[in-house]
Every structure is written in C-alpha cells, then in structure tokens.
Amino acid sequence: MAKLTVVPTPVGNLEDMTLRAIRVLKEADLILAEDTRTTGFLLKHFEIQNRMQSHHKFNEHKSVEQIAQRIKGGENIALVSDAGTPAISDPGFMLVRECVRIGVDVECLPGATAFVPALVVSGLPNEKFCFEGFLPQKKGRQTRLQELATESRTIIFYESPFRLVKTLTQFKEHMGDDRVVSVSREISKMHEETIRGTLDEVITHFTLNEPKGEIVIILSGLKNKKDRKTEV
C-alpha cells in the first residue's frame, strides 16, 4: 500500500543517517524537500537519484491536497526537511494532517532531532518536559513568557543565535536569575558545545562569547514549595 513516509535527516554529522532512511529515499517515487539544494547534497552523498519536489512553509498549504491524492493513487512519497525530523518546527504537519484526514497511511521513521540530545546532556530533569520550539517573535511573546513562568516541567526552546542573549534576558525578567539553563549549539557538528549554569551565568558567557550555529535552550521548570523546603 502506498504511503507517506516522514524521514528524519542528520542535524549535523551525516553518519547519523540511518540505513532504513537511505533505503526509503531510494525506493520512494518522489521526495518532498524543504530546500532541494540542501537535500540534493544529502542525496548525492548517499548516491540517491530519485526525483525531488520543493515542499516548504511558503507553498505547502497549496499542495497538500494534491500530494495526498497522489499517494492515495498509489505513489510512495517521502518527506524530508533540511535537518532533523519534519513537522518538528519544520514543514510537514499540514501534509500529515491531510493524509490522516483522507485515510492515507503515514509512517514516521525514528531518527535525528536536535532537542533530544540537548535535553539528555543538559543534566536537567527529563522524565517530564514540554517542547515550546520557537517563541513568537512579537505578538503573544510576553504573554507566553508569563504563562511559562509557572511551568514546573523542564522547558525546551529553539532559538536563533542572533536572539539568544535577548531571549535568555527575557527569561531572567519573567522567571528570576537563578533558574538553571543549558544551551546547546551545533548539535552533532564539529563545534558542538553545551553551556550550563544559572540564567545570569549563561547570559554573561554568551555576552562575552558571540553564539553561532543552531541553538537549543533547556530551561529548568519552576520548583514547587515542597521542593524548596527539601533543599533547605
């Protein structure tokens, strides 16, 4: 039976590509790519010569119905983003939703995503956490920060290096300077780095050392009164 297969691709090191992902891309009738140039490099590396079609946030709303119908008609289509797992802060959700709506089979391969390694190496509690992705840049940002100030679970954010210090400073304003934070950058790349400490300490570090690369922020949740008494 034809289906949509969501295929994670490496966030850094190409060795993170799974054998199964390579096979699926080789067998697909069509590969939907967020950026065909980026995916073209990946396909060339693994000697995959299948057809590609652009599928990104600016055109996906126009094409999801047609693509879903093509799968229903018998085509096996694979979906990739530039890096990591599609639909996680990347295009993909709308197509998956349409396929589910019309009864098309959807499969997502396990594989690379940036926030899981960042969460594990943070040293912060990870038995319960919430994933926020990118905060709103303008409208709704302050309201969301106020809401998250009372979140007790560990919180995961994606952020641009150009906004990192500003975002950490806003966390400090809304949540206090003693919250523990872990900032990972360039996950699975040559210059991978994780900086841990209080918000004050990490703000100081990245004020003195300009951040570069893709950023994942892991922020400790609000400790309840019972936890505070235990620590004292």
CATH code, domain carrying 59: 3.40.1010.10
Q: What is the pLDDT of residue 140?
A: 93
CB 181, CB 218: distance < 8 Å: yes
Which pTM does this prediction carry?
0.89
> Where are the strands (E) in the chain, listed by range?
3-6, 30-33, 52-54, 77-80, 105-108, 129-133, 154-159, 180-185, 193-198, 215-219
Q: Distance (Å, rounded) from C-alpha 109 to C-alpha 91?
A: 16
Residues 77 and 153 in one domain: no
As a whole number of angstroms, the distance between CA 3 and CA 51 comes to 17
Total structural domains in the chain?
A: 2
Residues near 145 by Cβ (< 8 Å), separated by ≥ 6? 135, 170, 171, 174
Q: According to the model, what pLDDT value does residue 228 have? A: 41
* Boundary of a domain, candidates 108, 133, 156: 108
Residues 126 and 93 in one domain: no
Domain finish residue from 89, 108, 127: 108
pLDDT recorded at residue 101: 96
Strands 3-6 and 77-80, bridge-based pairing? parallel
C-alpha distances in Å from residue 117, one per residue of 85, 125, 133, 134, 218:
13, 13, 15, 17, 11
pLDDT for residue 224: 62
**Domain shared by 181 and 125, yes or no:** yes
CB 141 within 8 A of CB 157: no
Asked if 96 and 124 sit in the same domain, the reply is no
Angstrom distance (rounded) from CA 230 to CA 224: 10
Q: Contact 206/183 with Cβ under 8 angstroms? A: yes
Q: Same structural domain for residues 218 and 120? A: yes
Claim to verify: residue 33 and residue 133 sit in the same structural domain? no
CATH number at residue 131: 3.30.950.10
Examine the domain organization and report whether 80 and 7 are in the same domain: yes
- Write out the DSSP string of 58-74: TTHHHHHHHHHHHHHTT
**pLDDT (0 to 100) of residue 60:** 82
Residue-level pLDDT at 157: 98
Domain of residue 78: give its range: 3-108
137 and 221 assigned to the same domain: yes
Q: Which of 108, 133, 149 is the endpoint of a domain?
A: 108
Regions in the chain scoring below 70 on pLDDT = 224-232
> Is the domain of 44 the same as that of 126?
no
Same domain? For 217 and 165 the reply is: yes
State how far the alpha carbon of 127 is from the alpha carbons of 85, 120, 130, 187, in Å.
Answer: 21, 10, 10, 21
Query: Does 98 share its domain with 141?
Result: no
Answer yes or no: do 60 and 41 share one domain. Answer: yes
